[in-house]
């Protein structure tokens, strides 16, 4: 995304009133621009490839193709676009499935407009919306349903240096950059650099995916 350019968003929801309401809220912001609307997962995948939005606001339960499958396809086919899942319940299993499919976070549909705007800006900037602590709660809730692939995932972590592994484990424990810096006795800017390298080396989109990988590797 070009610096200072409006954040291009795509709204995906099968309810017209919800789409209209979101568009009204988003259009009121100078730095956010709605480039399209989709009424199903199938249409969302098509428009994502056609429009390449910065952020996609994704509903879960829709006809033709649900938000989880749509997220999975968009992440694979249009990796430049980031998905923000909108769900009815804060610990909805469907929302968790979307995170595993590659979404960068989730919000409740009744989230205040100001928080929604902040979320869109954070995701567009490359951050994960869901805090590691919230993600850990979701992982704990569905732990019995997730297969652990300890050997393969542990081997995947071998590309990290000792310090990068420390940072990775700190992320998995729900620490933010400031807390990681205090724990490792380094500056916050240094932590940010390490976090970027960890995500790049492990080919992860954001911190949410890092927490999931740590869980599957049996490290948390």
Query: What residues contact residue 117 under an 8 Å CB cut-off, 6+ apart?
Result: 25, 26, 29, 32
Using an 8 Å Cβ cutoff, are 48 and 36 in contact? no
170: phi then psi, degrees, rounded to nearest 5: -65, -40
**Alpha-carbon torsion (175, 203, 89, 39), positive or negative:** positive
Is the separation of the CB atoms in 8 and 99 below 8 Å? no
CATH architecture, domain 148-216: Orthogonal Bundle (1.10)
Q: Does domain 7-130 have CATH number 1.10.540.10?
A: no
- Residue spans of the domains in the chain: they are 7-130, 148-216
Whole-prediction pTM value? Answer: 0.74
Supply the pLDDT for residue 2: 44
Residue 139 has what pLDDT?
60
Dmax (CA) of the chain: 51
Q: Report the pLDDT value the prediction gives residue 150, as an integer from 0 to 100.
A: 52
pLDDT, residue 64, reads 85
DSSP per-residue codes, 175-211: --HHHHHHHHT--HHHHHHHHHHHHHHTT-SSHHHHH
Q: What's the Cα-to-Cα distance from 44 to each of 26, 36, 82, rounded to whole Å?
A: 18, 9, 12
Q: Which residues of the chain have pLDDT under 70?
A: 1-4, 89-92, 95, 128-154, 220
* The pLDDT value given to residue 217: 78
Report the pLDDT value the prediction gives residue 1, as an integer from 0 to 100: 45
Residue 219 has phi, psi (to 5 degrees) of -95, -10
Which of 217, 182, 187 has the alpha carbon at shortest distance from 202?
Answer: 217
């Amino acid at each position: 995304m070009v610096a200072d350019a409006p954040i291009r968003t795509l709204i995906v929801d099968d309810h017209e009133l919800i789409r209209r309401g979101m568009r009204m809220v988003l259009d009121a912001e100078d730095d956010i621009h709605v480039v399209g609307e989709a009424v199903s997962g199938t249409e969302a995948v098509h428009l994502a490839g056609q429009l390449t939005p910065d952020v996609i606001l994704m509903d879960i339960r829709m006809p033709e193709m649900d938000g989880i499958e749509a997220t999975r396809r968009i992440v694979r086919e249009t990796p430049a676009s980031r998905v923000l899942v909108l769900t009815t319940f804060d610990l909805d299993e469907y929302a968790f499935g979307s995170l595993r499919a590659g979404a960068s976070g989730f919000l409740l549909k009744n989230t205040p407009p100001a928080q929604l705007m902040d979320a869109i800006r954070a995701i567009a900037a490359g951050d994960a919306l869901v805090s590691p602590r919230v993600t850990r709660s979701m992982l704990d809730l569905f732990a019995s349903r997730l297969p652990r692939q300890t050997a393969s995932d542990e081997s995947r972590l071998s590309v990290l240096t000792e310090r990068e592994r420390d940072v990775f484990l700190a992320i998995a424990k729900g620490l933010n950059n400031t807390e990681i810096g205090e724990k490792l006795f380094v500056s916050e800017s240094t932590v940010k650099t390490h976090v970027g390298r960890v995500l790049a080396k492990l080919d992860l989109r954001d911190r949410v995916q890092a927490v999931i990988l740590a869980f599957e590797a049996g490290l948390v």
